[in-house]
Structure 1
């Protein structure tokens, strides 16, 4: 699903490096055009990757603003076309080629190794030329005002490919994942930053170390939010910048589906609890035995609007994020390009508001987790878990 779909999975990055001080459009236009997608449907190439338009995946030229320029956003799509040959098909055609070679050379009882490799390459090229490439696309939106890039895939392989293509395209820049610790650095109050630094369990500034050594952030966040969902208020206040006004109320809670993980004698064990939760009894029992919540369905509600997302705790990736539907009233006096841009801006508005609510929720957790009141909160959570076990 693309960024304009009402349901989409996203991860986010910060851009590290310096942007040009002037003529950002010309700079980005040249680099995107230079790394635009090249079709392979008329040849036998196995793979092609490059940038295309967000609105038209057949177009790979970025010479005009309408191609990718949206006010302070740069919007473009990574397209990958790939031909795939089933192993069984390649094997069958290779056997035919070997039989023909042996028939043409009666003195041979078997095809020599070098010749077999030549036949295999020839068969592969011939089959690729007869196979249509399968296109795949993933959208990216770069907010040049905040330096935040939103990408519509959670696949590690695709994310890695996007990072490499971005770095290749925009020389001197690189993407840094917005993982739980990085997001904490962004949303925590200035006065709590020393406490966050002290709580950091990573031994280096390497991203992978910051992620793996600080999984406690996701674990404690889910535990706290589950407790608040069942035993306390689910109402919070907007505290982070964005479309919503500061101090406006919103509701946040988890429900429907949770995933728990535990390291046992047989390796990692995963438990999925699905369906509406009245008391989280099964989850509370699992937590008492040392399991950790690693994934949960999170609801964010403000006024009459609802955001529903499967939050993955290790990276804070947002899977199957369902935001309020975008509805643009059509007007005969408005052309198609203007209408598409209106849909884009409205979509970004609802996505950014959902992220604003999440960041405000996370900031509320961090204010308690890093502050003096966490000991009391831990005691209350412990009593609640014990009561659930006794029941």
Structure 2
């Protein structure tokens, strides 16, 4: 799913480390090219991972800054090509190979273990050579001024792949996931940071611990938004740096879909999904009164004639 699609899933990372102070685009282009994608179509290799250009996933040369630089943003794509053999097909071919071996060696009642492993490896390589690799693409946007990377995937395993590839490519830099607590510290007023630090439930400063221990933050944020949606005009001023003018008004509210969860019975977690446009949120109110928390919701953002929808998951906060 591309970053320019009408619907896109994104998560963000903070770039940690010191970037080169001189000619950053030239350095980045060289590093991207060094770790660029190399095709495996003409080989029997199973896997290939590397960077490709944002505008053309067939190109990985990054020969000029315009191939990836947009103002102070670097945009490029992580590509993974992978060959997969259907298990049923492989088993069928292996049975035929074993039958052929036994027919050629009537003294054997079964294929010896070592020979069977040899047949499996030979067959795997032969079938892989006939199988086209399936490409997967994930866009990356690196804000070099804010040291912020936006990645077009919510998958934990693909996120780990990005972190590993980024670290190998850009020596001295690494990616740290932006967890709910870090996001909170980044956006709250200075006067509230001490209170947020006091509310921090993590016992260490490790990202995993900060994420797991402070999952309540996203749920509380959704609860606050729901309260505002039910009781206020849902109008807010722009208060963060960006393309919008500070102080400009926009509207934000929850609607269409709300997922609540909580320990509702002895059998385990009970979930309540509320779908469709809501007038009074009666089902949501009832679920909240029974002790459930909002885990997911669709957040609407309106500014003049523009409308955006964000499906926000409370616990991971993306």
TM-score using structure 2 length: 0.97
Q: Deviations over 1:34-67 (max 9, x none)?
A: 1100101111111101000000000010121122
Give the drift of 1:160. 1.0
Query: Residue 159 of structure 2 corresponds to which residue in structure 1?
Result: 159
Query: Residue 329 of structure 1 corresponds to which residue in structure 2?
Result: none
**Matches for 1:56-135 after TM superposition, within 5 Å:** 56-135=56-135
Query: Residue 227 of structure 2 corresponds to which residue in structure 1?
Result: 227
C-alpha distance in structure 2 between counterparts of 1:31 and 1:142, whole Å: 14
C-alpha distance in structure 1 between counterparts of 2:11 and 2:216, whole Å: 20
Native 8 Å contact 2:26 2:65 kept in 1:
no
C-alpha distance in structure 1 between counterparts of 2:44 and 2:315, whole Å: 40
Please state if 1:311 is matched with 2:317. Answer: no
**Matches for 1:173-212 after TM superposition, within 5 Å:** 173-212=173-212
Query: Residue 340 of structure 1 corresponds to which residue in structure 2?
Result: none
Query: Residue 44 of structure 2 corresponds to which residue in structure 1?
Result: 44
Give the drift of 1:87. 0.5
Query: Residue 288 of structure 1 corresponds to which residue in structure 2?
Result: 289
Paired residues in the alignment total: 317
C-alpha distance in structure 1 between counterparts of 2:267 and 2:125, whole Å: 45
Q: Could you say what the CA RMSD is over the residues aligned between the two structures, in angstroms?
A: 1.1
Native 8 Å contact 2:38 2:50 kept in 1:
yes
C-alpha distance in structure 2 between counterparts of 1:127 and 1:269, whole Å: 47
Give the drift of 1:271. 2.6
Q: Which has the higher contact order (CA 8 A, sep 6+)?
A: 1
TM-score using structure 1 length: 0.79
Query: Residue 279 of structure 1 corresponds to which residue in structure 2?
Result: 280
What SS does the aligned partner of 1:91 have? helix
C-alpha distance in structure 1 between counterparts of 2:270 and 2:87, whole Å: 33
Native 8 Å contact 2:2 2:139 kept in 1:
yes
C-alpha distance in structure 1 between counterparts of 2:229 and 2:37, whole Å: 47
Give the drift of 1:135. 0.5
Q: Deviations over 1:156-201 (max 9, x none)?
A: 1111111111111111111111222111111111121111111111
* Structure 2 gap segments, 5+ residues each: none
What SS does the aligned partner of 2:93 have? helix
Query: Residue 32 of structure 1 corresponds to which residue in structure 2?
Result: 32
What SS does the aligned partner of 1:125 have? helix
Give the drift of 1:6. 2.2
Q: Deviations over 1:51-110 (max 9, x none)?
A: 000000000101211221212111100001011111000000000000000011100000
C-alpha distance in structure 2 between counterparts of 1:267 and 1:85, whole Å: 39
C-alpha distance in structure 2 between counterparts of 1:220 and 1:165, whole Å: 34
Query: Residue 259 of structure 2 corresponds to which residue in structure 1?
Result: 259
Q: Deviations over 1:338-375 (max 9, x none)?
A: xxxxxxxxxxxxxxxxxxxxxxxxxxxxxxxxxxxxxx
Query: Residue 144 of structure 1 corresponds to which residue in structure 2?
Result: 144
What SS does the aligned partner of 2:311 have? strand
C-alpha distance in structure 1 between counterparts of 2:270 and 2:107, whole Å: 59
